[in-house]
Structure 1
Amino acid sequence: MSLALVLNSGSSSIKFQLVDPENHATDEPFVSGLVEQIGEDLGRIVLKFDGEKHVFDSPIPDHSVGLRLAFELMEERGCGPTQVDIIAVGHRVVHGGILFSSPELITDEIVDMIRDLIPLAPLHNPANIDGIEVARKILPNVPHVAVFDTGFFHSLPPAAALYAINNKVAAEHGIRRYGFHGTSHEYVSRRLVELLDRPAEEINQITFHLGNGASMSAIRGGKAVDTSMGMTPLAGLVMGTRSGDIDPGIVFHLARTANMSIDEIDNLLNKQSGVKGLAGVNDFRALREMIHEGDQDAWSAYNVYIHQLRRYLGSYMFALGNVDALVFTAGVGENATFVRADALAGLEMYGIKVDPERNELPNDGPRLISTDDSAVKVFVIPTNEELAIARYAVAFA
């Protein structure tokens, strides 16, 4: 069996999977794992293989040590890189800027170009580069492929991509809408085309990637024409810990009246805001329990969250002109039936009719949740970014 290794390197973690790219989207990966708490006093590696979960605690000073330890654990269980047929390695890279619109075979030059984009993603691209450099040393004889989170949105029309600020300043500092979660939006939009069994060119759809991070995209004929995240993943929808869209003047107000530093404001908007900032929790199961118990902050947080979903839905319906389908995906989108129901409530006049019984079905693969007579079809399609990255990678093998 030929496998692809998929790596997603974060600032203090590495997620990894060994994936058979020929498998169906619902199949479990051959191996999956997580290296976490890199750089802390005690790190942890979690490995899932052959129906069993293995946990290993050890100091993990850097990504190189973490990945090598993970590979050693895999070797001990007969599923290591020297024991299976790895034909390609796919690396998730968060920011491709305007340079990268599609997956790229990684060379020293490509690594340098990704490094040049660090100012646009100072928390993510350095970690992505660490993962690339470590994996290339450990597996030097297979192609390594970078798959960019921003790539799907490279073709956004200028009206959606440009901010109304000084052209010279924007050009000098790379300021524009890039969009994120692109691999997920592209994956589920292509799965929808398969489910509808129609040419992609004929389909207009709106995709909801709702997890702790959340974004929406308007897709016409297979190409994104708008998306909610912007130059950074902070823009757009209300998220688990991120504020989403706010008045930019709030930043200046906090700096002037609260004497907050740029770093403090950055932390506030990215890690202490969103649903967590309003209700104190960012897990939607806990949020729903709090609402049932009568917690007014939780109720307010939920209403703000739903209001922003509906605001973007309305604007994207106008942008597309006509909509064939809506697609919900990611942790909240796939599992929180109440979010889907409330986001689409009362929209029958726009051709959107959710079937309550279908909406309550368990998360078990792609499924239609709208009524048979709904003009706009509504689907839940589980995302599988790792499988998408694996398929991109093996194309270079």
Structure 2
Amino acid sequence: MSNKLILVLNCGSSSLKGAVLDNDSGDVLLSCLAEKLSLSDAYITFKVNGEKHKVELADNPNHTGAVAALMEELKKHGLDSRIGAIGHRVVSGGELYSDSIVITEEVVAGIEKCIPLAPLHNPANLLGIRAAQDIFKGLPNVAVFDTAFHHSLPQHAYTYALPRELYRKYGLRRYGFHGTSYRYVADEAARFLGKDKNQLRMVIAHLGNGASIAAVANGKCQDTSMGLTPLEGLVMGTRSGDVDPSVFSFLAENAGMDIKQVTDMLNKKSGLLGISELSSDCRVIEEEAGKGHEGAKLALEVFAYRLAKYVGSMAVAAGGLDVLAFTGGIGENSNVIRSKVLGYLNFLGLKEDAKANEDARFGNSGVITTADSSAQAVVIPTNEELMIAHDTAKLSGL
């Protein structure tokens, strides 16, 4: 066990997720989740040794209050003096950052410059950075960007078919997200299969409430489904994924909706929730589909069909397909979704091993295709926190 631990923070506009990791072993010694930040009933829940307890944040119901409560919890367990550095998930580094970086005032300014590319996420990430700098004085802070892994996208993959002036003036292009997860899973899939990552043509599907897919060849990302924002691409929990852009004018003319209302609908009321009219939670939808609910059955089918189509397109970007990797909450646990996707891809020679698919759940890695398949489909649990911890330790000299 390392004497120096890494604190990983992932901040949303009204939430804060934290984990204290031993970078050498990967063990999580403490985790936390703060919710309802900026509201009077804000609170933070800690988990240590499998036991949870909740702390109210009424006196300071913001990100700084959450980090201060975290510091007090660390002191209770004698962990505060062992924190060596803090790693922060930052959603967008735009074209400025292709790698993780030690945070300076110049880097903070760079993250601020990227706010138009992630208006909901980057400001929250900055709140977490400032809170950590205030509470954990003197410790190095490192930014790990969701977009960094996608800097290898070729120009023809990141360019929208829009007037080029918009790219030159405003940086309007495809950036991609979930990059930290893709980087981890690409390495782990190759290790699990006993193969050289640089010799594999991989398609990786990160499936959760937010979902995307990426093509990786020669160890580098060649294309991905999310674009300027995390709205493009696959069907997600509440996000629509790809739609005809004319939906804006159609709904303005026919439903009297303005840009903000349509954007809100596409991000928060669509996807699995919108189709099923039940829930954004895939587990609920699978359960109700099993009972015959038509909306739930349609939601699963649309989700799987869109994903299968994207696997085909990402195989083009990768130059072929050796490995299809599923990860994220849905990718790791929904054998139903995986089975449907492999069914659509059967013409490519991907044949499901039903028992292996059933067994590869709840944190278990596994190959879920038969030995005579033309490519291997595999389930690989992601670990973004560990990837952030590794980068933070390396850049901090720990």
8 Å CA contact retained: 2:332, 2:363: no
Q: Hey, what's the Cα distance between the residues in 2 that align with 1:56 and 1:331?
A: 27
Residue deviations 1:45-95, cap 9 Å, x none? 1001122111112324321112112221332x324423xx11111000000
8 Å CA contact retained: 2:238, 2:273: yes
Return the offset for 1:264: 1.1
Q: Hey, what's the Cα distance between the residues in 2 that align with 1:78 and 1:152?
A: 36
Question: Counterpart in 1 of 2:55?
Answer: 56
Same amino acid, percent of matched pairs: 43
**Which of 106, 109, 119 is residue 112 of structure 1 equivalent to?**
109
Q: Hey, what's the Cα distance between the residues in 2 that align with 1:61 and 1:132?
A: 17
Q: Hey, what's the Cα distance between the residues in 2 that align with 1:293 and 1:199?
A: 44
Give unmatched runs, 5+ long, in structure 1.
none
Q: Hey, what's the Cα distance between the residues in 2 that align with 1:205 and 1:345?
A: 19
8 Å CA contact retained: 1:115, 1:125: yes
Aligned CA distance change for structure 1 residues 129 and 322 (closer, same or farther; 3 Å): same
8 Å CA contact retained: 2:208, 2:329: yes
Residue deviations 1:176-219, cap 9 Å, x none? 01000010011101111212333222111000100010000011
Give unmatched runs, 5+ long, in structure 2.
none
Question: Counterpart in 2 of 1:18?
Answer: 20
8 Å CA contact retained: 2:20, 2:29: yes
2:161 paired with 1:164: yes
Question: Counterpart in 1 of 2:45?
Answer: 46
8 Å CA contact retained: 1:35, 1:70: no
8 Å CA contact retained: 1:88, 1:396: no
Aligned CA distance change for structure 1 residues 277 and 346 (closer, same or farther; 3 Å): closer
Amino acid at match of 2:200: I
The SS at the match of 2:33 is strand
Q: Hey, what's the Cα distance between the residues in 1 that align with 2:118 and 2:240?
A: 18
Residue deviations 1:115-138, cap 9 Å, x none? 111111111101101111110122
2:98 paired with 1:101: yes
8 Å CA contact retained: 2:57, 2:65: no
**Which of 211, 231, 234 is residue 234 of structure 1 equivalent to?**
231
8 Å CA contact retained: 1:35, 1:67: no
The SS at the match of 1:360 is helix
8 Å CA contact retained: 2:369, 2:377: yes
Q: Hey, what's the Cα distance between the residues in 1 that align with 2:382 and 2:154?
A: 25
**Which of 218, 241, 244 is residue 241 of structure 2 equivalent to?**
244
The SS at the match of 1:395 is helix
Normalising to structure 1: TM-score of the pair? 0.95
**Which of 338, 344, 356 is residue 336 of structure 2 equivalent to?**
338
Q: Hey, what's the Cα distance between the residues in 1 that align with 2:51 and 2:74?
A: 12
Q: Hey, what's the Cα distance between the residues in 2 that align with 1:50 and 1:392?
A: 25
Q: Hey, what's the Cα distance between the residues in 1 that align with 2:245 and 2:204?
A: 26
The SS at the match of 1:22 is coil
2:389 paired with 1:390: yes
Question: Counterpart in 2 of 1:37?
Answer: 36
1:75-94 alignment, distance < 5 Å: 75=75, 77-82=76-81, 85-94=82-91
Question: Counterpart in 2 of 1:255?
Answer: 252
Residue deviations 1:304-331, cap 9 Å, x none? 1111011101112233332111100011
8 Å CA contact retained: 2:7, 2:85: yes
8 Å CA contact retained: 1:161, 1:177: yes
Question: Counterpart in 1 of 2:8?
Answer: 6
8 Å CA contact retained: 2:57, 2:66: no
Normalising to structure 2: TM-score of the pair? 0.95
